[in-house]
Structure 1
């Protein structure tokens, strides 16, 4: 803990206090004690064995101390987090593993990620590593998966009432709004959202068997405290550690070998290693222009010219290159002119994505009746615009004739 405080001090991490906590079975700590720790500074973090269980921090059950800690967190405005996997494996077979090693903090604006190390140690409490970061997570958050049943989409639209034919500008706007609302409601009714399944990396059966044997031997040693069992436990723990290291090395080599034969796998591997593109402040980059600027800045920084031994000669070369670039290149053949209209005709016509959230695929699944309603709005709008233009022209001509007369 002293070393950790020294690291925080030397690295200029803005945390006033880092403290370790251990609550024994007969501990009677109160909210006042917790408040005393948290009031030591603006940013305070304390972690350890709290002996407090509650499902809010991934415990399997609720204990009185956990209920009290949750109540104190709401009253004193501090946060309690726990890892996703159990941290305590009791020696009694009737007890189930649970999460009792927690992190309590207040005033920390960044992100705290908890990671339980691989079960290869001799203690019944697993080692928990808390990663403090002032930036966003390095991995892109998983987005829910959306599935659209197009048969339900078409059935919902067919059951909708027919839209009347518009006769004026206001009715055209109302019909367009109603048509958009019908398609959006049909998409909502036909869409099901589910969270992506997390595929866990399962260890081979031989490694799972070794870990189970080590846990059993650890329970026996905790009950008997026999020196011979302690020696056997140390040997088995070393064997498990080496087996896990060999498995990790073999898995990585297999992943690299498989990726070299498939461009798609190689691209995914590079993306997973590099991570998503981010700004200098840690925020993600989504737009194409921001990505282009990021690549340009990187190339400008990466490809800097070496220091010239003769600055005058280097300056003359730069001046000659600039003069050459300013000269007009003689055309050896007739130029080819491409007009914007030719580009529009050659481009693939697709509906641009807009704020209504209706994709092109939804328009392809419209029924004939809805397609007719969709085409009726712009057709009548064009007719109304032409009639209005003729009316304005006629009125202007009449006013001009009257003026001349």
Structure 2
């Protein structure tokens, strides 16, 4: 039979004589653990049994007071009834592909994995010619056009100073804070690396084809 449960007991809410018994029990237990004398063990068992009986009587009286204090005006009776009638939800077993039940955690995990594997499949390619053209487009050379306007290390430093500091790094794992602390010689070298490869082979870099993961 289920009973409405009163609030949990706390040490400082106990009466003075029960707290004194708890202190005496702890001291007797500590003394017996140090000495291992039979007399100390007997004294400890006596105090522990007395404390157990006193706590049982105190809980019984406290429960009687709690039940008698329930009222429908302050919603305490409704809360106790709701706590009494609350049952935990039990997860039902899953049915596998062979119509058997997955009961253990491992079987449930394997069933979920196989279900998600079947659900999340790539869509069929309806136009393979267009797909291959899109995949090969980054490797095509750029059309002939006017050369880009020249830029100096000062322009590179200005663009670096405008970078936000709260953004995560890109594929090269270099943060904007690192770029802002580069010396002047590193800025010049970075400008050289930015100009020369573009004129030698005007194509997209390989890292431009990779997905961006944030």
Q: TM-score range by the shorter chain?
A: 0.3 to 0.5
Q: What's the TM-score, normalizing by structure 1?
A: 0.19
Higher helix share: 2
Q: What's the TM-score, normalizing by structure 2?
A: 0.34
**Relative contact order (alpha carbons < 8 A, sep ≥ 6): 1 or 2 greater?**
2
Q: Which of these two proteins has the greater Rg computed from alpha carbons? A: 2
